[in-house]
Amino acid sequence: FFSSLTHIMYSQCADYYTVPSAAPPAPSHGLWVGIGCLAAAAALFCGISLTATADATTNNFVQVFAPRTVQPRAMTVPQTQRPLQREVTTVAAAPKDHSVKGMPKMSEEEMKLAQALQEHQKEAARLSHAEDARNMMQYGTGYGVISTNSESDDGYPSGSIVGYAPDDKGRPVFSFSTMSSHTQDIQKDPRVSLTVTVEGFKGAADGRVSLTGDLVRVPKEEKEAVAAMYLKKHPDAFWVQFGDFSWWRMENIKTIRYIGGFARAGSITPEEYEATAPDAIAAFATPVMSHMNADHGDANVAMVNHYLPIQVEAANIVGLDRLGMDMMVTREGQSFKLRLPFPRPATNRKEVKDLIVEMTKASAKAAAPAPAQK
């Protein structure tokens, strides 16, 4: 049912940045170096731009279910869904056939189902991109990939897995040994990026966020407080007190790239990110999800089948916040994520429990057979 989702999603992203061009004149030998640099920059720009473009696919959700042919057209990324994200320049799309070969034509009933599901997911309550990004930083494993400009390899990018702890503004704090290559890199060039994934990350459908900024040494008067904060996140990291370790913090954050999964991506301004607090409910999401998935799998399925316009065979809760649940569902052998919002926001753990019990009872009542007529 959903087998063409990934193909169409990525092909639509490609449409935004595919521009027909005539054959250029042959460049002189002296221009080859410049062309190589421009090609590398274009590749980087495309990678960054695709994250901002992915939101546009939400409006075309129904097209996932059937073959289609993309016609030449001018496209822009809708700004109404993410008013604080950066503007994306309109680019004319090149004619290209993105029909999914071998896929059967959808029936009228399936089309209606797809449209109903699209409308439901479009209106489903979700956290903002900034809140979701703060959640990843706050409640994740505390490890990510830091990318530096290599001191020993002529500025080539170098990635290292490092521990971090976010401060009250979401800025990552690090403890680095002087022997580490990334420490030597940042002493020469403090510009870095940090990429963090959601806990349990498995692939493109899962969330990740990348922060780019400058690393600066933590002032002496703040070291004690910073060390306590870091050890709260990493209680076994006794080595941070060794004499050759120093404290660093990302400041002057320039860009924040957020991807929450398929069709949910964009840029977050540093001001919005630092002014947003992590969702309090997400702090205890893991034990709630584990309990429901292990002991109440049937209730998960019943809730999806009752509150969403689709029938599924299996459902696991893979995300939880004050506004609702992210469900990994299985239908006709295919698995995908859907949003299941709460009837109203939750403000504490008890309210989360009460809401899930309420939804479970309503689902069971709706699924119960009608009483026999006397």
SS3 251: strand
Helix or strand (DSSP H, E) at 358: helix 349-367
On the question of pLDDT at 76 being above 50, the answer is: no
Between 20 and 239, residue with greater pLDDT? 239
CA distance 171 to 126: 23
On the question of pLDDT at 202 being above 90, the answer is: no
On the question of pLDDT at 49 being above 70, the answer is: no
CA distance 312 to 300: 10
What is the reported pLDDT for 242?
87
pLDDT in tens, 307-357: 999 999 999 999 999 999 999 999 988 899 999 999 999 999 999 999 999
pLDDT in tens, 230-277: 999 999 999 888 888 999 999 999 999 999 887 789 999 999 999 999
pLDDT in tens, 274-287: 999 999 999 999 99
Q: What is the mean pLDDT of residues 78-102?
A: 45
* Every domain range in the chain assigned CATH 3.20.180.10: 282-367
Structure tokens at 64: 């996932």
pLDDT in tens, 26-46: 444 443 434 444 444 444 444
CA distance 362 to 307: 9
Structure tokens at 253: 């954050």
* Every domain range in the chain assigned CATH 2.30.110.10: 131-278
The fold of the 131-278 domain, in CATH, is Pnp Oxidase; Chain A (2.30.110)
Least-confidence region, from 115-119, 201-205, 320-324: 201-205
pLDDT in tens, 145-191: 999 999 888 888 989 999 999 999 999 999 999 888 898 899 899 99
Reported as a pLDDT band with limits 50, 70 and 90, residue 108 is confident
Reported as a pLDDT band with limits 50, 70 and 90, residue 103 is low
Percent of the chain clearing pLDDT 70 (strictly above): 71
Structure tokens at 224: 């004690």
What is the reported pLDDT for 244?
82
What is the reported pLDDT for 369?
78
Which CATH number fits the domain 282-367, given the four candidates 3.40.630.40, 3.20.180.10, 3.30.479.30, 1.10.443.10? 3.20.180.10
Reported as a pLDDT band with limits 50, 70 and 90, residue 2 is low
Q: What's the sign of the alpha-carbon dihedral 214, 220, 224, 225? A: negative
Q: What is the mean pLDDT of residues 68-89?
A: 40
pLDDT in tens, 119-129: 999 999 999 99
Structure tokens at 231: 């050890």
CA distance 10 to 61: 13
Reported as a pLDDT band with limits 50, 70 and 90, residue 209 is very high
pLDDT in tens, 134-144: 999 999 999 99
**Contact of 200 with 192, CB cutoff 8 Å:** no
